[in-house]
A = this chain, B = another copy of it.
Amino acid sequence: MRAAIAELRRSGHRISAPRRQVLEALYAASAPVSADEIAGGLDGRFSSSDPASVYRTLELLERTGLARHVHLGHGPGRYAPASVGERDYFVCERCEQVRAADPRALEPVREAIARAFGWRVRFNHFPIAGLCPRCAEEADGAGYGS
């Protein structure tokens, strides 16, 4: 977060209380958070602020490469600081569980796609959707093979 503030300064932006609050919540969260959650101060852990300002700050952070957002489902977009490093996301269509993976783990997959289709892809903005191991097994087991 210190580095983020420095980078904002460096790129000619001002450090205001609302911006600090967004950064604080963003860095404190252990998973990507929505603008509204940030605006609500993460359930009171931080002081709350105006959603519009939160969106403006998040947009600034994305423009300066300090944050990213991901669409984990039909709800609001969720933001994470860039400092956590790029993550690829899996989301279970049945139990809603989210799993984050190191992009290196998916490198072979990306390569296979590049070879077969010529596309250079990522899974950090739209997740990989499907069934998590548990739900996949339950789906199989259902009906004992009937």
Q: Which A residues contact B (CB, under 8 angstroms)?
A: 71, 90, 92-93, 99, 101, 105-106, 108-109, 112-113, 116-123, 125-133, 136, 139
In the bound complex, residues from chain B placing their C-beta under 8 Å from that of A125 are 93, 129
Whether the pair A119, B90 counts as a contact (CB closer than 8 A) is yes
Whether the pair B120, A131 counts as a contact (CB closer than 8 A) is yes
- Least CB distance, A68 to chain B, in whole angstroms: 12
- Least CB distance, A79 to chain B, in whole angstroms: 14
- Which of B92, B122, B129, B132 lies in contact with A129, CB distance below 8 A? B122
- Least CB distance, A92 to chain B, in whole angstroms: 8
In the bound complex, residues from chain B placing their C-beta under 8 Å from that of A118 are 132-133, 136
Q: Which residue of chain B is the closest to A92 with respect to CB atoms?
A: B119
**9 pairs of A and B residues whose beta carbons are closest in the complex:** A121-B130, A118-B133, A126-B126, A120-B136, A120-B131, A126-B129, A121-B128, A119-B130, A120-B130
